[in-house]
Structure 1
Amino acid sequence: MPVLNSIAEMEAEMKGWRRYLHAHPELGLDCHGTAAFVAERLRDFGVDEIHEGVGRSGVVGLIRGRDAGPTIGLRADMDALPMTETTAAPHASTVAGRMHACGHDGHTTMLLGAAKYLAGTRNFAGTVALVFQPGEETGEGGPAMLADGLMDRFGITQIYALHTSPKHDLGCFVTRSGPFMAAVSDFDIRIRGRGGHGARPEETRDPVAAALTIGNALNTILARNTAANDQLVLSITQIHAGSAHNVIPAEAYIGGTIRSYRPEIQDLAKRRLREICEGCAAAMGVTVEIGGQIDLAPTVNDPKATRFAISVAREVSGADRVEGDYPPLMGSEDFGAMLAERPGAMLFLGQGVGPSVHETDFDFNDAAAPIGASYLARLVERALNGG
Structure 2
Amino acid sequence: MPHPFANSIAQSLAELTALRRDLHAHPELLFDLPRTAGIVADRLRSYGFDDVIEGIAKTGVVGVLHGKTGPAQNMQGRVLFRADMDALPIEETTGAAHRSTIQGAMHACGHDGHTTMLLGAAKYLAETRDFEGTLIFCFQPAEELAAGAKVMIDEGLLTRFPVKGVYGVHNWPEMPVGHFGAIHGGAMASADGVMITVQGSGGHAAQPENARDPVVCASAIVMAAQTIVARTISPFEQAVVSITSIHGGEAWNVIPDQIQMRCNFRSFSEDVSARMESELRRICAGTAEAHGCSVTVERPPLTPYPPVVNTAPEMALAIDAMEAVAGKENVHQDLRPVMGAEDFAFFLREVPGAYVFIGNGDSAALHNPAYDFNDEALGYGISYWVELAHRTLRATA
Residue in structure 1 matching 2:160, options 153, 172, 175: 153
Measured in 1, the distance between the counterparts of 2:306 and 2:82 equals 17
Spell out, residue by residue over 1:113-148, the C-alpha distance to the aligned partner (whole angstroms, 9 max, x if none): 111111111111111111011111114111111101
Measured in 1, the distance between the counterparts of 2:26 and 2:190 equals 30
- Is the alpha carbon distance of 1:88 and 1:232 closer, same or farther for their aligned partners in structure 2, counting shifts above 3 Å? same
Query: Shift in Å at residue 201 of structure 1?
Result: 2.6
Measured in 1, the distance between the counterparts of 2:311 and 2:35 equals 33
1:266-281 alignment, distance < 5 Å: 266-281=273-288
Measured in 2, the distance between the counterparts of 1:3 and 1:277 equals 57
Residue in structure 2 matching 1:187, options 159, 174, 194: 194
Query: Shift in Å at residue 274 of structure 1?
Result: 1.4
Match of 1:6 in 2: 8
1:1-387 alignment, distance < 5 Å: 1-68=3-70, 69=72, 70-284=77-291, 285-292=293-300, 293-385=302-394
Query: Shift in Å at residue 216 of structure 1?
Result: 0.7
State which drifts further: 17-26 or 162-171.
17-26
Give yes or no for contact 2:147–2:305 (8 Å, CA) kept in 1: no
Moved beyond 4 Å, runs of 4+: none
Measured in 2, the distance between the counterparts of 1:368 and 1:92 equals 18
Spell out, residue by residue over 1:272-326, the C-alpha distance to the aligned partner (whole angstroms, 9 max, x if none): 1111122222333233242232411111111011011101100001111001242
Measured in 2, the distance between the counterparts of 1:294 and 1:199 equals 43
- Is the alpha carbon distance of 1:289 and 1:105 closer, same or farther for their aligned partners in structure 2, counting shifts above 3 Å? same
Measured in 1, the distance between the counterparts of 2:194 and 2:369 equals 25
Query: Shift in Å at residue 204 of structure 1?
Result: 3.0
Q: Secondary structure at the match of 1:125?
A: coil
Show structure 2 runs of 5+ residues with no match. none
Give yes or no for contact 1:196–1:203 (8 Å, CA) kept in 2: yes
Q: Secondary structure at the match of 2:287?
A: helix
State which drifts further: 244-253 or 11-20.
244-253
Measured in 2, the distance between the counterparts of 1:316 and 1:178 equals 23
Give yes or no for contact 1:151–1:157 (8 Å, CA) kept in 2: no
Match for 1:379: what amino acid? L
Query: Shift in Å at residue 152 of structure 1?
Result: 2.1
State which drifts further: 175-184 or 302-311.
175-184
Measured in 1, the distance between the counterparts of 2:26 and 2:392 equals 34
Give yes or no for contact 2:130–2:395 (8 Å, CA) kept in 1: no
Give yes or no for contact 1:186–1:294 (8 Å, CA) kept in 2: no
Give yes or no for contact 1:35–1:59 (8 Å, CA) kept in 2: yes
Measured in 1, the distance between the counterparts of 2:282 and 2:307 equals 24
Match for 1:343: what amino acid? P
Measured in 2, the distance between the counterparts of 1:182 and 1:273 equals 19
Show structure 1 runs of 5+ residues with no match. none
Count, aligned residues: 387
Measured in 2, the distance between the counterparts of 1:102 and 1:25 equals 11
Spell out, residue by residue over 1:20-60, the C-alpha distance to the aligned partner (whole angstroms, 9 max, x if none): 11111122222232211211211221211111111222111
Match for 1:104: what amino acid? H
TM-score normalised by structure 2 residue count = 0.93
Match for 1:131: what amino acid? C
Q: Secondary structure at the match of 2:133?
A: strand
Query: Shift in Å at residue 202 of structure 1?
Result: 3.2
Measured in 2, the distance between the counterparts of 1:283 and 1:291 equals 24
Query: Shift in Å at residue 386 of structure 1?
Result: 6.3
Measured in 1, the distance between the counterparts of 2:270 and 2:236 equals 15
Give yes or no for contact 1:139–1:296 (8 Å, CA) kept in 2: no
Match for 1:287: what amino acid? V
Measured in 1, the distance between the counterparts of 2:132 and 2:198 equals 58
- Is the alpha carbon distance of 1:57 and 1:205 closer, same or farther for their aligned partners in structure 2, counting shifts above 3 Å? farther
Match for 2:296: what amino acid? V
Measured in 2, the distance between the counterparts of 1:223 and 1:374 equals 44
Query: Shift in Å at residue 158 of structure 1?
Result: 0.8
Q: Secondary structure at the match of 1:237?
A: strand
Q: Secondary structure at the match of 2:171?
A: strand
